[in-house]
């Protein structure tokens, strides 16, 4: 009896319900069972059902880079830990690959995808390629960067944003023209096969800071400096769908400012250590309540010696805030085992320390850590069938 005959005796809705509870890697294997199963899994009904189920179990996604090798792990975010101060969890390896040996300058995350604008996979050997990947499914693709007209036009950042209404990803590259003293932008809609890079202008001249970006409800946020002397700081709010800009002036900024999704709103967190880089650690939080009125709420929290963990009390960095409001911290440069993740609950003033097993396997030197909270597996955006510029080509070989 073949798989189609077996399926006839089981209601389709029941099969889809069972499959929606599996991890994305298992779903990829299920596609190979039969043409019928592949057809069911590709239905929009199933991808939406899978996303709904996945959203109820968000994970912490961790990317580890060491000498050109990248590994992507995920681990469940703690829920209902009943007053415990420490937990031990196992990391699940999703994907690993090698890039070239050029220094990597960060990455951009939006709606389950990660964009590495300065990375080239060695086998391609093209200096104008960036890499975009879905760490949950193991798929990846290439973004062919636009050529610059002359050396006086300098790109400052390459950002990934997501429009949840039209369900489109876009890559935005701010470019400063030193001759014209203006900021132009190259923008690319991923999946638009007939449209390549386009140019749009900004109403203000600005240079982005290197603090990273965050995309919340279709708005891409990043920090920048403006005016002729470039000595005023602003928050750039880019609407991914309409491609319009809003600039909010900032009274405070420091190099450690982290942009976060704070319960659905844009948040900024500054951290301030004592002189030796250890506890107590002061966290100053600004939450954007109203863009039009430029209204902010402010909070200050302190992690003190009485809730520290000796192994991880130095040089922590905020990586995000969970949907329930817990501030997540990790060490972004690691040399020793074990690896810890800290969850600070501001409402209860509690600190949960999570020791992660399996993350250091095969690591032997200094390595860098990137972490993304509330990661949700999404099957809808299929990288394998997406063209990223007029010259982009993809095949089934483009899978790690």
Confirm whether 398 is domain-assigned: no
Residue 227 structural domain: 57-385
Tell me: do 52 and 62 sit in the same domain: no
Residue 114 and residue 28 share a domain: no
Q: Are residues 97 and 23 in the same domain?
A: no
Q: Are 127 and 120 in contact (CB under 8 A)?
A: yes
* 180 and 324 part of one domain: yes
- pLDDT value of position 390: 41
- Supply the pTM of this predicted model: 0.85
99, 11: one domain: no
Rounded-to-integer distance, Cα 88 and Cα 332, Å: 19
CA separation (Å) from 351 to 348, 364, 374? 9, 29, 18
One-letter-per-residue 3-state SS of the chain: CCHHHHHHCCCHHHHHHHHCCCCHHHHHHHCCCCHHHHHHHCCHHHHHHHHHHHHCCCEEEEEEEECCEEEEEEEECCCCCCCCCEEEEECEEEEEEECCCCCCCCCEEECCEEEECCCCCCCCCCCCEEEEEECCCCEEEEEECCCCCCCCEEECCCEEEEECCCCEEEEEEEEEECCCCEEEEEEEECCCCCCCCEEEECCCCEEEEEEEEEEECCEEEEEEEECCCCCEEEEEEEECCCCCEEEEECCCCCCCCEEEEECCEEEEEEEEECCCCCCCEEEEEEEEEECCCCEEEEEEEEECHHHCCHHHCCCCEEEEECCCCCEEEECCEECCCCEEEEEEECCCCEEEEEEEECCCCCCCCCEEEEEEEEECCCCCCCHHHCCCCCCCCCCCCCEC
* Domain co-membership, 226 together with 336: yes
Same domain, 40 and 73: no
The whole-number pLDDT of residue 336 equals: 58
Both 150 and 129 in one domain: the answer is yes
Whether 126 and 256 map to the same domain: the answer is: yes
pLDDT of the residue at 222: 95
Q: Are residues 71 and 32 in the same domain?
A: no
Domain count, the chain: 2
In a domain, residue 30? The reply is yes
Q: What is the pLDDT along the chain (400 residues), one digit of tens a residue?
A: 455 555 557 788 888 888 888 877 778 777 778 888 788 888 888 888 888 888 888 999 998 887 777 888 999 998 877 667 788 888 888 777 776 555 555 788 999 899 988 776 654 445 556 788 888 777 778 888 777 655 556 667 889 999 999 989 999 999 887 777 788 899 999 877 667 889 998 888 888 887 889 999 999 999 998 865 567 899 999 999 999 999 999 977 777 789 999 999 999 999 887 666 667 788 999 999 999 999 999 999 998 766 555 556 667 889 999 999 999 999 876 665 678 899 999 998 888 989 888 877 666 665 788 899 999 988 766 554 444 554 433 333 343 3
Q: Is 395 a member of any domain?
A: no
Residues 26 and 77 in one domain: no
Which of 39, 56, 73 is the C-terminal boundary of a domain?
56
Residues 49 and 65 in one domain: no
């Amino acid at each position: 009896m073949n798989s189609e005959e077996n399926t006839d005796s089981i209601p389709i809705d029941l099969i889809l319900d069972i499959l929606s509870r599996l991890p994305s890697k298992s779903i990829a294997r299920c596609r190979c069972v039969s043409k019928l199963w592949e057809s069911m899994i590709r239905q929009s009904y199933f991808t939406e059902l899978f996303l709904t189920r996945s959203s109820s179990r968000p994970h912490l996604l961790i990317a580890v880079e060491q000498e050109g090798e990248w590994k992507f792990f995920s681990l469940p975010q703690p829920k209902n830990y009943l007053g415990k101060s420490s937990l031990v969890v196992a990391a699940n390896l999703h994907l690993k690959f090698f890039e070239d040996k050029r220094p990597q300058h960060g990455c951009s995350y939006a709606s389950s995808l990660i964009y590495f604008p300065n990375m080239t996979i060695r086998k391609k050997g093209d200096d104008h390629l960036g890499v975009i990947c879905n760490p949950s499914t193991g798929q990846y693709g290439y973004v062919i960067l636009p050529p610059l007209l002359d050396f006086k036009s300098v790109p400052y950042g390459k950002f990934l944003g997501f429009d949840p209404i039209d369900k489109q990803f876009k890559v935005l590259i701010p470019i400063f023209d030193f001759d014209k003293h203006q900021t132009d932008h190259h923008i690319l809609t991923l999946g638009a096969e007939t449209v390549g890079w386009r140019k749009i202008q900004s109403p203000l001249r600005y240079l982005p800071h290197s603090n990273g970006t965050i995309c919340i409800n279709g708005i891409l946020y990043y920090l920048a400096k403006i005016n002729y002397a470039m000595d005023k700081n602003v928050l750039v709010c880019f609407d991914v769908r309409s491609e319009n800009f809003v600039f909010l002036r900032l009274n405070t900024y420091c190099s450690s400012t982290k942009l976060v999704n704070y319960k659905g709103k844009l948040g900024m967190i500054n951290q301030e250590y004592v002189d030796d880089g250890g506890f107590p650690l002061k966290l100053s939080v600004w939450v954007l309540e109203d863009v039009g009125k430029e209204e902010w709420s402010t909070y200050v929290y302190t992690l003190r010696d009485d809730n520290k963990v000796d192994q991880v009390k130095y040089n922590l960095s905020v990586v995000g805030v969970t949907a329930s409001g817990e501030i997540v911290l990790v060490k972004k440069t690691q040399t020793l085992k074990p690896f810890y993740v800290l969850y600070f609950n501001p409402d209860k003033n509690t600190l949960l320390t999570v020791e992660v097993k399996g993350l250091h396997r095969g690591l032997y030197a200094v390595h860098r850590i990137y972490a993304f909270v509330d990661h949700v597996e999404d099957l809808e955006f299929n990288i394998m069938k997406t063209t990223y510029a007029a010259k982009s080509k993809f095949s089934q070989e483009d899978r790690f």
